[in-house]
Amino acid sequence: MDVLEGTAWVFGDHVTTDQIYPGRYLERPLEEAGQYAMSGLDEGFAGRVRRGDFVVAGVNFGAGSSREAAVVALKQAGVAAVIARSFGRIFFRNAINNGLPAVIVPDTSGIRSGDRLRVDLNDRQVTVLGTGATLPILNLTGISMAILRAGGIVPFTEARLAERRRA
């Protein structure tokens, strides 16, 4: 999980949770969320994205509601991480808590849809494999990384409680 490689799917600035997972699908079972990922901007995204690919955006990705299903939809669709210049605060917490890396880099304008990327959470950089360009990861340290490595807040908390019981 510390080194991820996949294809970039680039979206713009201010992508909302309603665009990531439109409200018209909220009545459907959560297990179906992945087939509607990003359908507020690209109806065919879920059918074309491949497991391990990345969503790349500009500023304020995941703005809007506290819709946790937006993160669930991306994970179910196979998205390995979201890379952006900034995130909506609640989306960021939902992503970490659900085990989806929400990677902040200083600029995403040099990444194009279809670029192959490597996200190295240990070396703290994103590399555009075709050009060799690298971007520093500005976040994901400490407790955020511990939660991600555990697979989300539930397995992280369960492991911590088990440690305390053994002590």
Per-domain residue ranges for the chain?
A: 3-166
Q: What is the pLDDT of residue 9?
A: 98
DSSP summary character for residue 53: -
Q: What is the pLDDT of residue 167?
A: 79
CA 132 – CA 150 distance, rounded (Å): 30
- Angle at CA of residue 110, ends 107 and 114, nearest 5°: 120
pLDDT tens, per residue, the chain with 167 residues: 699 999 999 999 999 999 999 999 999 999 999 999 999 999 999 999 999 999 999 999 999 988 999 999 999 999 999 999 999 999 999 999 999 999 999 999 999 999 999 999 999 999 999 999 999 999 999 999 999 999 999 999 999 999 888 87
Is the model's pTM score more than 0.75? yes
CATH 3.40.50.300 for domain 3-166: no
